A and B are shown apart, each in its own frame.
Chain A
Amino acid sequence: QVQLVQSGAEVKKPGASVTVSCKVSGYSLTELSMHWVRQAPGKGLEWMGGFDPEDGEAVYAESLQGRVTMTEDTSTDTAYMQLSSLRSEDTAVYFCTRGMPFDFWGQGTLITVSS
Chain B
Amino acid sequence: DINLTQSPSSLSTSVGDRVTITCQASQDISTYLNWYQQKPGKAPRLLIYDASTLETGVPSRFSGSGSGTDFIFTIDSLQPEDIAIYYCQHYENVPYTFGQGTRLDI
Contact = CB atoms under 8 A, between A and B. Distances in A.
Nearest to A35: B96
A45 B46 contact: no
A101 B91 contact: yes
Contacts of B99: 44
Interface size class of B (residues with CB under 8 A): 20 to 34
Interface string B79-90: 000000001010
Contacts of A46: 98
B98 A103 contact: no
B49 A45 contact: no
Given A45-B44, A102-B34, A102-B44, A59 B87 contact: no
A47 B55 contact: no
Interface in B47-106: 49-50, 55, 87, 89, 91, 94-101
Contact of A47 (B38, B50, B97): B97
Nearest to B96: A47
Given A44-B87, A44-B101, A45-B87, A100 B43 contact: no
A101 B98 contact: no
B43 A47 contact: no
Contact of B46 (A50, A52, A103): A103
Contacts of B45: 105
Interface in A32-52: 35, 37, 44-47, 50, 52
A47 B43 CA distance: 14
Contact of A61 (B46, B49, B95): B95
Interface of B: 1, 34, 36, 38, 43-46, 49-50, 55, 87, 89, 91, 94-101
Q: Which are the 8 A-B pairs with shortest beta-carbon distances?
A: A105-B43, A101-B49, A45-B98, A47-B96, A101-B34, A44-B101, A100-B91, A103-B46
